[in-house]
Amino acid sequence: MDLQSPAVGPPDTGVLRIAGEVLAPAALGFHDLRTLPQHERDVAFTCRRSGPRHHSFTGPLLLDVARLAEPALTPLERKERLRFLIALRAADGHRAVLAWAEIDPEFGNASILLGLTRDGRPLDAEGPQLVVPGDACGARNVSRIVEVRIVSYDGE
């Protein structure tokens, strides 16, 4: 990074790292994430602690965000892509793992988002939130995400 260059646009409070088995590891701010196509999803789930919840989110597809970092699995055959997973970590240590196949268009093709707004409110100050439509429990809707790691399972 060129530290001499002036800052362009508003400063990004949160930066999301995309790392792991990717050709182009990235540190993405909300400005970068807003350049991707934005989608809207409603989620309804029940939290064991707070009961029934409903939220509306907007943001890019996790698939489009992951592709910015050029995952090493992109050129692979379908069966080989099944070994990859996506590990997400939040600022408070909450973690969740997805199978790559859940969002791969040739498998689950689930419309999992990285939410940038929740119920009309921008999440810039806290960071993006995973949006998993259809989950009965809200625990995979990880908020304040700081890192997304794409890694392969190499077990025997």
Contacts to ligand MTE by CB under 6 A: 47, 50, 53, 90, 92, 94, 138-139, 141-144
Taking the complex as a whole, the smallest distance from the CB of residue 52 to ligand MTE amounts, in Å, to 10
Residues 42-61 that bind Mo ion (CB under 5 A): 47
Instruction: Give the nearer residue to ligand MTE in terms of CB position, either 62 or 90.
Output: 90
Taking the complex as a whole, the smallest distance from the CB of residue 97 to Mo ion amounts, in Å, to 17
Instruction: Give the nearer residue to ligand MTE in terms of CB position, either 28 or 90.
Output: 90
Q: Could you give the CA distance from residue 93 to residue 36 in angstroms, rounded to a whole number?
A: 27
Nearest alpha-carbon partner for 122 in 17, 19, 42, 34: 34
Taking the complex as a whole, the smallest distance from the CB of residue 128 to ligand MTE amounts, in Å, to 11
Taking the complex as a whole, the smallest distance from the CB of residue 4 to ligand MTE amounts, in Å, to 36
Instruction: Give the nearer residue to Mo ion in terms of CB position, either 58 or 141.
Output: 141
Q: Please, which residues bridge with residue 44 across strands?
A: 54
Burial class (CB in 10 A: 0-12, 13-18, 19+), 105: exposed
Q: What is the DSSP letter of 67?
A: H
Token pair 């969740």 is at which residue? 96
> Max Cα separation, the chain?
50
Q: Please, which residues bridge with residue 151 across strands?
A: 85
Chosen from ligand MTE, Mo ion, none, partner binding at 92 (C-beta under 5 to 8 Å by type): ligand MTE
Binding site for Mo ion (CB under 5 A): 47, 138
